[in-house]
Structure 1
Amino acid sequence: MFAKRLVPALLAGTAGLCAATGAQAASQTTAGTVINNTASVTYTVNGTSQSTSSTTASFVVDRKVNFTVATDQTGLTQVNLGEQNAVTRFKVTNLTNDVQDFILDPDQQNISVGILPGTDNFDMLNLKAYVDSNNNGVYDPGVDTATYIDELAPDASVTVFLVGNVPTTPSALLAFDSLHVIVAAGGTAGTKGSALVATDLNLANADNTVDIVFADDDSDGTLYLGDIARNGQGRAYSGYEIGTHNVSLTVAKSALVLSDGVNILNPKALPGATVEYCLRVNNATLTTAATSVNLTDAIPAKTTYVPGSISIGTPGVLGIACVVSGSAEDDDTDDAAETDGFTASFDTSSKTVSAHIDTVGGGATVAVAFKVTID
């Protein structure tokens, strides 16, 4: 778990809090530029004009370190329990008068008030920061692999993703995170520079030395603990919200007389007749799957289970076929060889049919059928 800090800043206003007040870097003279100045003098001696030049005064332009870190999304990222590679998005802009590297530090915040109503009550797993390498604004696993910002030009911006895995903890509701950014030395592509150290401001300006002066703002407000002004660091905040804890799962059960031993057409529910029970499990929530769905059904009195009659799969048309594409299930509980995500059994002592469905996807329906005979 990362260090926790109180951050009473509204998420919707984070970008505003991160806005810099300094001039844009594109209009600034590059650090290290040598500026020379020489004065010209003319004068007259015995009626003859003369001229000379002064000595040259030179100095180099110092490095004015400034940048912003801002949340680059609206609201929290909506996620599901167990979701992998869930993303919050940030933007880093270099307002320094030179090319810079930036060190990225993903952090998690235990915040009860401030960013959004509610309480941070879980941590993301394996939270990491990655740079948007192809500038498409979408996290691409295997493509966006850089863990620091390399050679960001003055006035240029880049997207950074915080990526983590959502735990399966049923009580999980909110997780707040932040991107902590530290300015680093640039100049060597493909190599992460060391964190910059500001020149001691008690020292006089050295004309032949590029001094480092931090000019960055307090990114989250002067009263808060996440950042302070002129420290070469910045921070912005976002988070994850479990959007769905339940789905609209319904089970419809019907019975169809298959044969009665007397009538070929329109069989009746006579003693000795075979009846197929059909359970249609429907998940009406389009965006979220239901997993580990277990059904139990005690067969009614005056009926006898037909051995080996359980099947699970794609539902057919009601009144014609319960399962049209699926698998026949055995009656025992030894399911080691099952690979289709469906298992079932019949308990002879309790006269109960049990069925297990690994996943009922969003908007999907799975049918379970079994047969009995009427005593």
Structure 2
Amino acid sequence: MLGSCFKPPPKSTAEILLCVGLRFGPDALNSHISLHAWKTLSPGTWNRAFNEHGQLRLDNVLNRIRRGGVDPSIRAEVWEFLLGCFGPSSTTQQRDSLRASRREQYAKLKSECQLMDNLIGSGQIATSPRINADGSLAEECNGGEISGGNEISHHQNGHMNGAYQQTSIAPYEKQCKKTIQWRLNLHQIGLDVVRTDRMLQFYASQEHMSKLWDILAVYCWLDPAIGYCQGMSDFCSPLALMFQDEADAFWCFERIMSRLRDNFSCTDKEVGVEKQLAVLATLLKVLDPKLHEHIDSIKGGDYIFAFRMIMVLFRREFSFVDTLYLWEMDTLPWLQNYMPYGVGLGTRGLDEVLKLLNDVTGKVDPKEVCKSALKLHSEYLRRVGVLFL
């Protein structure tokens, strides 16, 4: 758990930043957020929010979270409530029982995956195809590209220098369609894992990298309708870091996906995130008609330039630390607020729009964004209300 860094809990901003640096690496500290104990949800305030039965008085902590986020030492525990793993009215005993049950369920799911591919849970990850489209063993698997502890530095430099290893796989003719599709996804998960949050010292460890791979692989098996799509690793990575127990990280990730899985759905007719882009267009049309008209005039009316931002909730636009704060705010109305920072009436084409958006990456103060977004949300509700009067 991330909180293992904090014993005793830090008493100053300097101590918190020091621990974050040791855990994440210096790049993660490129944050616009100043930690203030009187604004951030502290361990003391969090513990006092529970009654004698262990039930959470949620109203006591939400305002503090919105003002200053969550102290890193309690972030994992708080997120279990924010994501809906536990209800506020649950007692300590109920949560302990539910956690034990979920860990057991995860162990069974992981065991099923291990029977299909013994790399699961081995501490290694695959970065080349495991099988062919017909389910037959891929040629690489006879001596395939598999990352081990000695290859971690090569992965972080973008070079796949895998160790050769025999692997046990069920005969392909006996594999069902679901199994084949799952195994086809494994190497794509591996390729994304070695690219995810490479600046974090946490992922300098092969053990931690394989933990992320295992979680994503098991989820891919649990939810075959979605399987695995690029971008999921961006949501899973903070959880793999936060939670010491892999099962706890998995079920928090499952809760995130229950909210966002439509973003990753893809059919012959539409890609799920297109619905969110349509919502963005509608919001901007109400809040800033001139800007909307300009974007439409340069053939950007489908808002495809915002695809990545919407897909992974600005995970790439802000530093790791700032992203966690933004997600804790859980104020998605600020999503449309990002537009005015980069897109002005002076842009003449979509290429310029994309360039401007890339230029502001990492330069936006997330607290100011959230403040403005809340104002925009209120303004949107006011204007919509007037329309229906």
TM-score of the superposed pair, with normalisation by structure 2: 0.19
Higher helix share: 2
Largest Rg, 1 or 2: 1
